[in-house]
Amino acid sequence: MRPRTRRVGPVVVAVLLAATSIFHAQGVRPAQMRITADPLTNWGSTFHALEQKAGRITTRFADGSAVAERGMDGHIRTWLYNTAGNEIATLHAEQGGSMRLDVLGTTTLNTVRRPGLIPTLSWANEQTYALAKDNASSVMWHGEVLRGRQEIAIQQIEVEFEGGFAAKTIRYPTLYYTELALNGTRVGRMRYHPKERELTFEFPGLTKGVFTPEMLKVVGGWKFTPTMAWMHVQALAFYQFHSAVRAKQVAQAKPNWVVRPELNWFQKAWDAVFPTVQAQDGCTYLHWLDNTIYRPCCDAHDNCYITNGCGMYSWFWPFAYSWQCIPCNIRAFVCFQAGNVPENHVWVPTP
């Protein structure tokens, strides 16, 4: 499927060569693929699993736009347009690692991606723009993007996910703003302030909250730097996973099949003074986290307590309860330290 009617011909090519001088590229040999000290960001398997639900992404720049689509074979194809809507470059990125840039119908780059880089649709749009704009003899790998010294200024990203979901992320002078819609109806929104490193999110009926660096000190602060491309994936994660959690909570509300293990005399005496934590309690003694993305850590910990008959005192005196209480506490600690999901930069409820 082509994103729009392609208007390329001899006359158009001549005009583009004269009028769009910012878009140009030269042949680059693999030996010239220099790598800077900028590391790759490992977004994690959850991020990429959700990102692959996107079938089409449009990225808008000040002087053009790019449209990326993922084919049935997993290959990514990008079309780059100038402000007049004329196609001026295409990028073909294969799963095997090779990528080819064609500018005005001529192949100007045929190389491979940086080792360890996992391609996404947003990356393909940014990469196509960078290679078409910069002099290829001066480009090098800056993190995920092969480009010149200047960073790419993205203005807006529009995403079409499977299942009727669509997201739009806009860059404003002081923040990124994302809206997620389902079948045309908005179901959630997020704001991220890069300077303050503050994230707010609101998904009516599911979850809402705010993160500031001060609040995150207890879990080691931010583990990564949010980007515009991350925003729409995180928005989908918030909605889908918290919807699943809500559905499960409704289906299993106060289940009558949960049998609490028989308590010993010490447990009975302790619970008489400090009742066992229940799943509805949320982040006990940390209730400022109840409406944040760390709430699922608390809920998973509470459910583990119910299943194994644990109580708060197991944090201080593990031998007072079943040995299964120790893994409950360890998983909760890891959940907080990892930002809810170990080795991922997408926050979702824990299993």
pLDDT at 207 over 50: yes
- Which of 154, 185, 201 is a domain's end point? 154
Domain hosting 292: range is: 255-337
- Which of 198, 224, 249 is a domain's end point? 249
**Residue 238 and residue 122 in one domain:** no
Residue 83 to residue 144: CA distance in whole angstroms: 26
pTM: 0.68
The predicted structure's pLDDT at residue 32: 47
User: What DSSP assignment string belongs to 149-169?
Assistant: SSPP---EEEEEEGGGEEEEE
Tell me whether residue 327 is in a domain: yes
pLDDT at 165 over 50: yes
Q: Which helix (H) or strand (E) holds 235?
A: helix 228-251
Residue 77 to residue 95: CA distance in whole angstroms: 11
The pLDDT of 5-10, averaged and rounded, is 44
Q: How confident is the model at residue 23 (pLDDT cuts 50, 70, 90)?
A: very low
- Which of 108, 128, 154 is a domain's end point? 154
**Residue 125 and residue 224 in one domain:** no
pLDDT digits (tens, 9 = 90+) for 235-258: 998 898 888 767 766 655 544 444
**Residue 27 and residue 103 in one domain:** yes
Token digits of residue 43: 């977004």
Tell me whether residue 351 is in a domain: no
**Cα 211 to Cα 219, 220, 339, distances in angstroms:** 12, 13, 12
Tell me whether residue 345 is in a domain: no
The predicted structure's pLDDT at residue 284: 47
**Residue 106 and residue 132 in one domain:** yes
Q: How confident is the model at residue 173 (pLDDT cuts 50, 70, 90)?
A: very high
CA angle 221, 235, 172 (to 5 degrees): 80
The dihedral built from the CA positions of residue 268, 272, 277 and 278, taken in this order, carries a sign that is positive
The structural domain count of the chain equals 3
Tell me whether residue 344 is in a domain: no
The pLDDT of 132-143, averaged and rounded, is 79
pLDDT at 34 over 60: yes
The predicted structure's pLDDT at residue 343: 45
**Residue 75 and residue 130 in one domain:** yes
The predicted structure's pLDDT at residue 337: 56
The predicted structure's pLDDT at residue 197: 93
**Residue 100 and residue 208 in one domain:** no
Tell me whether residue 82 is in a domain: yes
Bridge partner residues of 266 (DSSP): none
pLDDT digits (tens, 9 = 90+) for 178-201: 999 999 999 999 999 999 999 999
The predicted structure's pLDDT at residue 38: 85
pLDDT at 175 over 60: yes
Average pLDDT, the chain: 74
Check residues 164 and 341 and name the one with the higher pLDDT: 164
The pLDDT of 303-332, averaged and rounded, is 63
Residue 188 to residue 208: CA distance in whole angstroms: 9
Highest-confidence segment of 8-17, 164-173, 284-293 = 164-173
Residues 103 and 23: beta-carbon distance below 8 Å: yes
Residue 342 to residue 351: CA distance in whole angstroms: 12
**Residue 146 and residue 211 in one domain:** no
**Residue 86 and residue 25 in one domain:** yes
Residue 274 CB neighbour total at 10 angstroms: 10
Token digits of residue 349: 């409820």
The predicted structure's pLDDT at residue 11: 36
**Residue 66 and residue 143 in one domain:** yes
pLDDT at 21 over 50: no
Share of the chain above pLDDT 90, in %: 33
The predicted structure's pLDDT at residue 322: 57
The pLDDT of 317-321, averaged and rounded, is 49
